[in-house]
Structure 1
């Protein structure tokens, strides 16, 4: 097990399954052999993806192993713990981080327990690992031997690089202290200053290196000496929020239930309004600012809240573009199914859609890169990383003590520790927390039970139902035309109040007021005065107050006395006095009213426009058909079918099952997946090298499947493309030379002795030690690789 590939081959099936579960990109597409798996695991893209989601302590462990390896061989876990400054109390945390790094195949242990970095990881971590400058072992020097050994470019550091610091001029210690923990690059001070004299002295004594003309560099061995041999100040442990308030569970449940019920009610009102008056779709897609503002006024919330409601409803598949020539946003057929359910399942559908949505409603109202205003439902508001951010924020809240109300700064600090190479903007974290509060996932700033169920992919609706107060089916009607519902109204009572009353306040109780306009709205919807009073009497605690009954009867007497129809449209009345002066009214000039008879007027306007104008004039008209029968002014329902709306995360095959299937396939291919080449360490070479620097060879023939794993020359090399990648990466990491067979443009091949430096982007950058020059060649032109050293006797 001298190489990373050998380490993978020695792993058990369970260990390989765990690796593929944690790094799913390694299983897609399906690797054919373990060598293919090793090649994919050491590719730059896969390593970057794995490093993106490791926490800060795992990143420190990886950096410590990289720094410690060139100087004293492979470090042990205890060496790593000492390097990052971990004490006995931190031992368990460091051990966990080491196990995570090994489980992700970013590190691999040898038989003695020493830790090795995976091929390609050094380049993936970047140049200044742990805030240190590249070490002498990382410098690619052309003046190295043909056998792959390094010829040092300068004398190595003495036993104590800081021995002469006692004689340094004033300010030298300050310069070193400023660069000690990184970044290791500093700007050269102006000449003639004390700082410039200090830098000159440090350069002369080898404690600083010259960079370009304006910068100096603190050498790695000097920085490590200043740090006392440590790579980090202290281990990066998970942050613990200080002074985070803990909310009472009952308050959290009450606030969450209130917000959830309000969201469901507002979405229902939104669907009803857009069913009757669907807003148009902008030419570039999205909802116009005027339509958004008009909807916000109707729902009695601000524009930002309305934009979030619209986006959430659309994500749940309740709204869609109708696809007409002049398109509009209208409710979908799924909206009818949603509206027929109780509050908990309706809320659960919205919550799942919000969690899985890639939309960013908090950007609505801002300006894009071109200066254009971002509109709600704009196709440009999609961001693929948003679902992962929402789940990460809720995971942080779920890991906190129950009832803990974390601030956006607390959550952001936790996310910065969990993925230091992929930290989301603080503004995005604040927006996600605000949306979660509106939705009812949070209550009083803490994660509610419904939110915990949502994060755990459990029945969030059932969790919300346990927190919702029991619905109330009665209203206390009062003589001042107001009513009080002592709790959460039930579905029937909520429908009645929305139909015939105006809600004045909501909270522990709902206060409503009955007005002439609200009663007229109920009558326009087809309810008669007797039916309305009967429904109020059924819901009332006691009898209907006399003032309310008088109001309903009085509005009903005026309702329908004037009727409008289409000629284009017309107005008629039994009493000619009611129509007197309407044709000459300048406020109605746009209707172009004409008097056909003392009791009939016609207009060049639609019936809806005519009805609205007459109501604004103070009349109470109703519509009638050609036979004179009353037609209640109810807008026709418009529905479209949702197109590909996702209301929950896509349910795919269980990752563990898929990984087990991949491993089983790899094991079945094990007989042809023989060990390829242990060229990553000098002692593992198995094929003799020819003395020729370049040996012409016939044009290579790509091996058939049965020949996979054979060497291009001799028995110790390989010509399998996946194996070639692994061998080159392992040789680059171990800094050893190999023979490569390169196919030219004319089909001929040459064999060259090179030392690989980097394999990235489908290209090999290597050093030709005999010619003291670098070589860059496309990997697909390499027909085979063989070790450079003769086999051990």
Structure 2
């Protein structure tokens, strides 16, 4: 029968283009002709890579071909269908074989199917869980032997006829006769129904496994993809639910950035972040540690956090974080979601242990997985195939479908990857209710600005009002306008958050607003103008009471000074226990000074029960809230593709043209009388031969290296030779071409 090279040579340009698109490694470097392409297609590493893209049934079909020894002699399609089992039709087998043909793993007509020899090495050691065949055991003899086995022997044979035909035993020693055999293993060995691999290992012969399996020689085979159990929702419901998750994520990330702006966590020696810092942040944000770990990975990926240089590096906010914090929710979310989709790391591994039993923490190097972006696209792409608003009921259902589509991808974490990805996508609002949100779809297939626009339409309209309650809580029934949200975060503390946020107004929160420069009248006006409910007297009294005491003591720098019109109050300060640490001394009846920084003086006075206010040079309230530490963000680096990048359409067309040209050049007969000496021809010999060929109108065979360093062969009809260039017509394509003489590696006249 024809070889793989002959089969590929007979294909059309479209089929060869599809092959190079499915197996891009075959195109690097560009093959000189179809023979080179066929050789490369049979390389073990390339075959193993091609098998990663096969679905479960295509892999089973390839295993059936190997079990039938199609790598040494062709086999008919009917035999393959019979090997696959009673539940598989020849038509379904033919479709799978056609898929293997397109990938150049199988070739030949249905009556003579051949498989690349290295397929046996790329497949598992025991295809379909079947062992080696025994030399002298026929199918009829295997059936008869199986019927004569006792219960113990049959149980052992049935177990080995499952997914693995190998068994470990202490009864595999040599020299035991049938009369001496006492155990089921020894009796089966004596009957020749088990193969001895070594003194502790036995193997079930393939013929006996066939006898156990009956009409399904390869065991359970899944010819079709499992069905997904779907849940139907309105797309608007999915989008609104996703928008709620987005707002919650952004609130948590903003709180974490503010927390670490004041007290950045240390960078571990391994490059990650400590468990103690994660736990502290989780307690402050009132979330679990897994949530904080994901936030940390997102913040670093989006360049909001970066490690400082120096002897004691810390994870510090970048200058870009300030821009992010000042942006609207859609502008905050889009770069986060984009960074997550392309993140070459697996946050889902956080909390697991490595091979040395060390705990894997956020930002540790062990989380790096270059193929993670590809897997996320594949998992989310499954949801994109579903009708709008439809989602998967359980992550395990999606894992089963993806496992059928590509059983050799993902390794031991294959199913975990699906669960982790869907959980993280839900936290980001890319997925909601098991379905892909409209904004999530835009993240996958559009740029960040488009994704932000799509999310904007799903976010609830920002509210310009709150509801003040009698118990001094303030309810925000939805997302607040940015200015109102900033005011509420200043004058009140968040008590609970969700679709509605509940704030608590207390003495400390009112004082915080006064410390920031707000007056009592401004706070009264804020609640009066923004509340849709009556203002309770308790809130009015609270604001007035705190404001009356606030600022009676004035602190400045001497390093710091403290002044008050009431000298009795200053005397009370000096007599207060613990104030001695502030090193205050009186320099006037109404003025005290301290060598300590102003912030420490204020904190010490407040700890002692006083309510001082910071004063600026103009006598106005001074806002001493820290802007936090900042560091320049790291320059983003483009991740190199872990797999060969598929060539573009123009490049594919050039490759096919080169293949055809190489085939034509290889098929012509080259003369020897006018050929240059062996090795690279001299410039004089090349020039003389080409000029003679042009004068005699004879074609020449050229070995040629193009400007990219790729060698090829081509048959050319010379037209003229001069200026260091051969001008001629490609006999294969009929197109004129220019061939610099210094790039010609070999030349010969074509015999007619």
TM-score band (shorter)? Answer: 0.7 to 0.9
Match in the other structure for 1:160: 140
**Structure 2 length-normalised TM:** 0.77
Contact in 1 for aligned 2:462/2:480 (Cα 8 Å):
yes
**For residue 212 of structure 1, what is the aligned residue in structure 2?**
198
Pairing 1:282-681 to 2, within 5 Å after superposition: 282-323=268-309, 326-365=312-351, 367-370=353-356, 373-399=359-385, 402-422=389-409, 423-425=411-413, 426-457=415-446, 459-541=450-532, 546-580=537-571, 582-583=573-574, 585=576, 587-588=578-579, 590-603=581-594, 605-625=596-616, 630-636=621-627, 638-645=629-636, 658=648, 660-668=650-658, 670-673=660-663
Q: Assess, with a 3 A threshold, how the Cα gap between structure 1 residues 549 and 649 changes in structure 2: closer, same or farther.
A: farther
- 1:151-300 aligned at under 5 Å gives the runs 158=138, 160-162=140-142, 164-165=144-145, 168=148, 170-171=150-151, 172-187=153-168, 190=171, 192-193=181-182, 195-196=184-185, 198-203=187-192, 207-224=193-210, 226-228=212-214, 230-237=216-223, 240=226, 246=232, 251-300=237-286
SS of residue matched to 1:8:
helix
Q: What is the DSSP-based 3-state SS (H/G/I as helix, E as strand, rest coil) of the residue aligned with 1:161? A: helix
Deviates more, 1:223-232 or 1:519-528: 223-232
- Judging changes above 3 Å, is the alpha-carbon distance between structure 1 residues 565 and 245 closer, same or farther for their aligned structure 2 residues? same
**Are 2:79 and 1:79 aligned?**
yes
Residue of structure 2 equivalent to 1:99? 98
Aligned-pair Cα RMSD in Å? 4.0
Per the alignment, do residues 289 and 562 of structure 1 end up closer, same or farther by CA in structure 2, a change over 3 Å counting? farther
**CA 1:403/1:617 → structure 2, altered by over 3 Å: closer, same or farther?**
farther
1:2 corresponds to 2:14: no
For 1:175 and 1:370, the matched residues in 2 are separated by 37
Work out whether 1:117 is the aligned partner of 2:115: yes
- Contact residue 64 and residue 231 of structure 1 kept, 8 A: no
**Contact residue 555 and residue 602 of structure 2 kept, 8 A:** yes
Cross-structure match for 1:20? 20
Compared CA separation, residues 450 and 213, structure 1 to 2 (3 A): same
- Residue 44 to residue 565, structure 1, CA distance change in 2 (3 Å): farther
SS at match of 2:19: helix
C-alpha displacement at 1:315, in angstroms? Answer: 0.9
Q: Cα gap change, 1:457/1:225 in structure 2, threshold over 3 Å: closer, same or farther?
A: farther
Q: Distance in 1 between matches of 2:112 and 2:629?
A: 69
**Are the equivalent residues in 2 in contact too, given 1:84–1:230 (CA < 8 A)?**
yes
Report the alpha carbon displacement of residue 389 of structure 1 after superposing the two structures with TM. 3.4
Is 1:347–1:461's contact at 8 Å kept on the other side of the alignment? yes
The CA deviation at 1:250 is 5.6
Residues 180 and 591 of structure 1, relative CA distance in 2, 3 Å threshold: same
Counterparts in 2 of 1:533 and 1:510: CA distance versus 1, 3 Å: same
What's the offset of the Cα at 1:585?
4.9
Give the TM-score, by structure 1 length: 0.73
Q: Quick one: higher RCO (CA 8 Å, sep 6+), 1 or 2?
A: 1
Contact 2:256 2:281 in 1 (8 A): yes
2:515–2:614: 8 Å Cα contact kept in structure 1? no
> In structure 2, what is the Cα distance between the partners aligned to 1:111 and 1:536?
83
Q: CA deviation at 1:45?
A: 2.3
Alpha carbons of structure 1 residues 265 and 659: separation in structure 2 relative to 1, 3 Å: same
Alignment check: 8 A CA contact 1:405 1:446 kept: yes
1:85, CA displacement in angstroms? Answer: 1.8
**Residues 334, 595 of structure 1: alpha-carbon distance in 2 compared, 3 angstrom cutoff:** same
Task: Return the offset for 1:63.
Answer: 0.3
CA shift, 1:256, in A, is 1.9
Q: Secondary structure of 1:404's match?
A: strand
Note closer, same or farther for the CA distance 1:364–1:181 as it changes in structure 2 (3 Å cut): closer
Checking the alignment, whether the CA contact within 8 Å between 2:554 and 2:564 is kept in structure 1 is: yes
Displacement of 1:486 after TM fit? 2.9
Q: How far has the Cα of 1:495 moved from its partner?
A: 1.9
Q: State the shift of 1:351 in Å.
A: 1.3
Q: 1:246-272 CA distances to partner (integer Å, 9 max, x unpaired)?
A: 556565444322111111222233333
From the superposition, tell whether residues 114 and 399 of structure 1 become closer, same or farther in structure 2 (CA, over 3 Å): farther
Aligned residues: 663
Q: Kindly tell me: are residues 578 and 42 of structure 1, through their superposed partners in 2, closer, same or farther at Cα, counting changes over 3 Å?
A: farther
Aligned residues of 2:169 and 2:201 also touching (Cα < 8 A): yes
Q: Give the gaps of 5 or more residues in structure 2.
A: 172-179, 670-677, 684-702, 705-752
Report the Cα distance in structure 1 between the residues aligned to 2:399 and 2:425, rounded to whole angstroms: 15
The 3 A distance-change label for structure 1 pair 27 and 524 is farther
* 1:420 alignment partner, SS class: coil
Give the 3-state SS of the residue equivalent to 1:162 in structure 2: helix
Whole-Å Cα distance in 1 between the matches of residues 452 and 644 of structure 2?
A: 24
Pick closer, same or farther for the CA change 1:303–1:614 going to 2, 3 Å. Answer: farther
- Cα gap change, 1:373 to 1:569, in 2 (>3 Å): farther
Maintained 8 Å contact 1:615/1:621: yes
Shift of 1:444: 3.4
